[in-house]
Amino acid sequence: MDRSKQYANWASGILGFAAPTYFAWTIYQTGVPQNVATWGMTVLLDALGLFLVIRGGNKLPLLQIAWLSAACLILIAILAGRSPWHWGIVESASLVLCFIAVVLWLTLSAEIAIFAFVIAFIVATVPLIVDYWHTPQSSTTWLWLVTIVSCALSIYGAKKQDVAHTAVPWGAIALNSFIAFLCVR
C-alpha cells in the first residue's frame, strides 16, 4: 500500500475518533439531548462490526476501532449528562430489526454478513433519525459531515477495494449524508 493510502487510513481513524469524542464532550457539557437507545445499539453494533471486518480480512480497521471507542464515550456522556431516556414504538421496532439483522449476520459468511451489519446499523439509527426529523439539530451537522470525510478517507486508504474494507464506510456515507440533510433542512 502506498504512503498516501496509509496516511488516509490513519487520518480516517483519527477523524473517526476525534470528531465523535468532541461531540461526546459537547453533549456532556451542553446537555444536547441524544437518543440513548440509538447510541446504546451503536456501541453494540460497532463492537460486532469491528469483529466482523477483522473476520472478513481487514487487518487494520482503524475507522471501526475509532468508532467503537468514540461511541462508548458518547454513550457515557449521554448517561452522565442525564440525557432524556425514552423508549417507544420506534426504539422497540429498531431493536427487533437490529436483532434479526445481527442473527442473520452471525449465521452468514463474513463478506455477505457485512451487508446485514450495514442494514442493522442503519436500523439502529432510526430512533435518532426520527428525533432529528421532529427536531433538527443544526448544531450537530459538523459531526455528520466530518464522519463522511473520515469514511471517504477510509475508502481511499483501504488496502483492498472489497466488501470487508469498504462496505461499512460506504453505508456510513449514505446514512450520515441523510442525517446531515435532516440537521439543516
- Residues 34-46 pLDDT 10s: 778 888 888 988 8
Answer yes or no: are the C-beta atoms of 150 and 12 closer than 8 Å. Answer: yes
Which amino acid belongs to residue 134?
A: H
Burial label for 16, CB within 10 Å (0-12, 13-18, 19+), is buried
pLDDT of residue 1: 60
pLDDT of residue 183: 94
pLDDT of residue 90: 72
Output the pTM of the full model: 0.83
CA distance linking residue 71 with residue 62, whole number of Å: 14
Does the structure show a pLDDT above 80 at 82? Answer: no
Nearest to 168 by CA among 68, 66, 64, 38: 64
CA distance linking residue 132 with residue 181, whole number of Å: 10
First to last CA, the chain: 40
Say how many residues make up the chain: 185
Contact residues for 96 (Cβ-Cβ < 8 A; gap 6+): none
Tens of pLDDT along 111-164? 777 888 888 888 888 888 988 999 898 988 999 999 999 999 999 999 899 988
CA distance linking residue 3 with residue 18, whole number of Å: 22
Tens of pLDDT along 22-76? 989 988 888 777 778 888 888 988 888 898 888 888 888 999 999 999 999 999 9
Count Cβ neighbours within 10 Å for each residue of 41-55 and write b for 16 or more, e otherwise.
bbbbbbebbbbbbbe
